[in-house]
Amino acid sequence: MDTWFGILQVVTLVVVLVALYRPLGDYMARIYSSTRDLAVERGFYRLIGVDPRSEQGWQSYLRSVLAFSAIGVLFVYAIQRGQAILPYSLGLPAVPEGLSFNTAISFVTNTNWQSYSPDVTMGYTVQIAGLAVQNFVSAAVGIAVAIALVRGFARRRTGTIGNFWVDLTRGVIRLLLPLSVLAAVVLIAGGVIQNFTGFTDVSTLTGGTQSIPGGPVASQEAIKLLGTNGGGFYNVNSAHPFENPTAWTNLFEIILMLAIPFSLPRTFGSIIGDRRQGYAILATMATIFVVSLTALTLFELNGAGSAPALAGGAMEGKETRFGIIGSTLFGTASTLTSTGAVNSMHDSYTALGGMMPMLNMMLGEVAPGGTGSGLYGMLILAVIAVFVAGLLVGRTPEYLGKKIGPREIKLASLYILVTPTLVLLGTALSFAVPAIKADVVATSLGNPGLHGFSEVLYAFTSAANNNGSAFAGLTANTPWFNTALGVAMLLGRFLPIVFVLALAGSLAAQDKVPATAGTLPTNRPQFVGLLLGVTVIITALTYFPVLALGPLAEGLN
């Protein structure tokens, strides 16, 4: 019976996403193809000194992305360090240097990893003027880079891939801001708070005391999810009743996370002029999503492991109002996108259940992935897939009329190598270097044995893939983790962007080759199967050994 209600909940989600696919996807295509500027945008371009009609080559586009992000890091760092003198800081002191460094990178890279507990670390001003601003712009940067790559496929014999400042501005003003306003008001109606009153001290029913927090939560919650950011206003993120009060707000928040990433394949199809290509990408994403969701849900409903078996169900770390299926649906959506918000504590999932969020991130967050980053990640895998197919039949691979030559395949391969390198290196260093290991074991691990290893593996997987969720028993506010995870987030975000934009430039410069009888059709189920195979095999070959050391060993014990 309960399971049927759960399935009905998933069906509702699918119906909403299907209904959004065309209008939202086409709307985004118009945003990034339009030659007209809104009056407010023209004013903005004058203020920042940019000519919206000028086009950029990939190097110039990249340097704009990097300059904007570097300024963002400095900005968020400075605002945290100055917290003591800022208004509405709840009397909180300046955020320490190491933590400010980690947090600045975390929010600029769309990761929203939180080494800290916001309840006792970040005042309102840092949250709204520092962190939430990055929630908007880092999401817009992700979409901009994806659109630049799509233009690379769509254009021919040109040196340019668009104008970063225009793409950034339109993403914020025409897409994220209006949708956030709507979403914030809906969330308030559901019970999410929006005030600046600080703590309200009350005397409870039994005569005890309780300090009820305040805060501008709804405005931040909306963009936290819509921009696949995931940084909670409170320590427990969307498990907190003030961030996610009811079962219907829970479903609404899941829709917010998935709406843009699942509609971007339509945008892609529209811009390249062949919408069936978008459906093939969408089908691949949706298949992975359904399989992963089913696995996690079955693991948690089954409730294997000593503690869940003793308690009679895997309810540790889960909220009554969401139940198990409301928790696994949220967890899957959050880790198959780059959101990383949680409405239940992944650290307390069953061993194999806890492996699923890790596996979702290890897939490269492409089903549907973060705002923009999901689409460009999947397009890179598509390039690899046509290359593999080309090897099998001995033809020069092509994708969307573009030849996939040595330069293209090198860039795609480099992209694929970045995050596994960061994840495996970071995890290995944490346990292989004696001084680091001593510190990790003594201060950071929240659980003994194999589960402790999983906490560290989860942390680096989350950071390098810019997800931000955690096995939160890990105490990450230490010099080692603040530094190493900060570096992993930075390289995990911007190295792939370098390769994607270089690829965009190289594709845009090519002419289109006409499709022949020997061209692999990339809009059919056959290609969906190939793309799925490539995605799963790359992930399995890379991560199986390390998963065997942690969650697999714990779960199969």
Q: Which residues, numbered 7-26, are part of the site for other proteins (CB under 8 A)?
A: 8-9, 12
| Locus of tokens 């339109």 | 170
Spatial distance between the Cα atoms of 333 and 357, rounded to a whole number of angstroms: 9
Q: Tell which residue, 529, 538, 545, has the closest CA to residue 415.
A: 538
Helix, strand and coil in the chain, % to nearest 5: 70, 5, 30
For the segment 195-234, give every residue that binds other proteins (CB under 8 A): 195-197, 199-200, 202-206, 208, 210-214, 216, 218-220, 234
In the bound complex, what is the minimum distance in angstroms from residue 305's beta carbon to other proteins? 3
CB neighbour list of residue 448: distance below 8 Å, 6 or more residues apart: none
Instruction: Check residue 348 for interaction with other proteins (CB under 8 A).
Output: yes
Taking the C-alpha atoms of residue 194 and residue 180, their distance in angstroms, rounded to an integer, is 14
Distance of CA 457 to the CA centre of its chain: 18
Separation between Cα atoms, residue 412 and residue 462, nearest integer Å = 21
| C-alpha to C-alpha distance for 407 and 506, rounded to whole angstroms | 8
In DSSP terms, 398 is beta-bridged to 403
Distance from C-alpha of 315 to C-alpha of 311, rounded to nearest angstrom: 8
Stretch that binds other proteins, among 240-248, 375-383, 408-416, 529-537 (CB under 8 A): 240-248
Binding residue (CB under 8 A) for other proteins from 154, 280, 351, 411: 351
Taking the complex as a whole, the smallest distance from the CB of residue 14 to other proteins amounts, in Å, to: 14
Count of residues for the chain? 557
Max distance between CA atoms of the chain, in angstroms, equals: 80
Q: Residue 35 or residue 203: which is nearer to other proteins going by CB?
A: 203
- As a whole number of angstroms, the distance between CA 65 and CA 143 comes to 12
CB nearer to other proteins: pick between 103 and 542: 103
Between CA 514 and CA 400 the distance in angstroms is 9
Q: Site mask, other proteins, residues 28-57, x = CB under 8 A?
A: ----------------x--xxxx-------
Q: Which of residues 421-460 bind other proteins (CB under 8 A)?
A: 446-451, 454
Segment 243-302, which members bind other proteins (CB under 8 A)?
245-248, 250-251
HEC profile of 355-379: HHHHHHHHCCCCCCCCCCHHHHHHH
Q: Which 143-172 residues touch other proteins, going by CB under 8 A?
A: 165, 168, 172
Nearer to other proteins, 56 or 267 (CB): 56
Residue 536 beta carbon to other proteins: minimum distance, rounded to whole angstroms: 26
Near other proteins in 363-422, by CB under 8 A: none
Q: Which CB sits closer to other proteins, 8 or 391? A: 8
Q: Measure CA 255 to chain center.
A: 14
Does 345 bind other proteins (CB under 8 A)? Our answer is yes
Token pair for 262: 């699942």
Which CB sits closer to other proteins, 135 or 523? 135
**Interface with other proteins (CB under 8 A), residue from 322, 458, 481, 494:** 322
| Choices 26-34, 61-69, 332-340, 413-421; region in contact with other proteins by CB under 8 A | 61-69
Which residues between 106 and 135 bind other proteins (CB under 8 A)? 117, 119-120, 128-130, 132-133
Give the binding-site size for other proteins (rule: CB under 8 A).
Answer: 121
- Look up residue 49 and give its amino acid: G
Closest approach of Cβ 410 to other proteins, in Å?
21
In whole angstroms, how close is the CB of 96 to other proteins at the nearest point? 19
Q: By CB under 8 A, name the one of 25, 323, 377, 397 that touches other proteins.
A: 323
Residue 478: phi, psi to the nearest 5?
A: -130, 160
- Least Cα distance to 225 among 179, 170, 292, 174 occurs for 179
- Give 20 or 474: the residue with its C-beta nearer to other proteins: 474
Site for other proteins in 176-195 (CB under 8 A): 177, 180-181, 184-185, 188-195
Query: For residues 321 and 410, which CB has a smaller minimum distance to other proteins in the complex?
Result: 321
Within 487-546, the residues that bind other proteins by CB under 8 A are none
84 lies in the site for other proteins, by CB under 8 A: no
Region of residue 402 (left: phi > 0; alpha: psi -120 to 50; beta: else): beta
Q: Is the Cβ–Cβ distance between 89 and 83 less than 8 Å?
A: yes
